[in-house]
Amino acid sequence: MASTNGKRLLLVDDEIDIAESLKFFLDEQGYEVDTVSSGAEALESLSGGDYQGLVLDWIMPDMTGKEVLDKLSEQDKNLPVMVISAAPPNLVEPNLEEGVRFLRKPFDIDDFLSTLSKVV
């Protein structure tokens, strides 16, 4: 197991296979990663957790990534965010606040890690 880099992330994706694969990869890179599969679970985890970053799917059954980000903004949560989605960039990027990074699925794992390193 890799040593920890001290960065704790919350990874939110309703596609369990993607979440588990990314968690495994990030664990190997030294991140401490918690995974949840819905926007509601994300908000609950973020209210009680000390995270240094959020990896957020944009399209989920219970709420969109935008709704999650709006709720976080209402709670004055200033958290670095990376959005991942299969949705076309023109549907996602106009809804992102400054500093939020977007990576379209499917993505190369090296691109994922590079983008994440710019976020956290």
Whole-number pLDDT of residue 3 = 53
Superfamily of domain 8-119: Response regulator (3.40.50.2300)
CA–CA separation, 116 vs 33, rounded Å? 13
- Residue spans of the domains in the chain: they are 8-119
How large is the average pLDDT for residues 85-111? Answer: 92
Tokens representing residue 19 in the block: 């979440």
pTM above threshold 0.85 = yes
pLDDT, one tens digit per residue, over 39-92 is 999 999 999 879 999 999 999 999 999 999 999 988 867 899 999 999 999 989
Residue 4 binned pLDDT confidence (cut-offs 50, 70, 90): low
Tokens representing residue 32 in the block: 């401490």
CA–CA separation, 45 vs 47, rounded Å? 5
Whole-number pLDDT of residue 78 = 80
**β-pair partners for 101:** 82
CA–CA separation, 88 vs 80, rounded Å? 22
pLDDT, one tens digit per residue, over 8-29 is 999 999 999 999 999 999 999 9
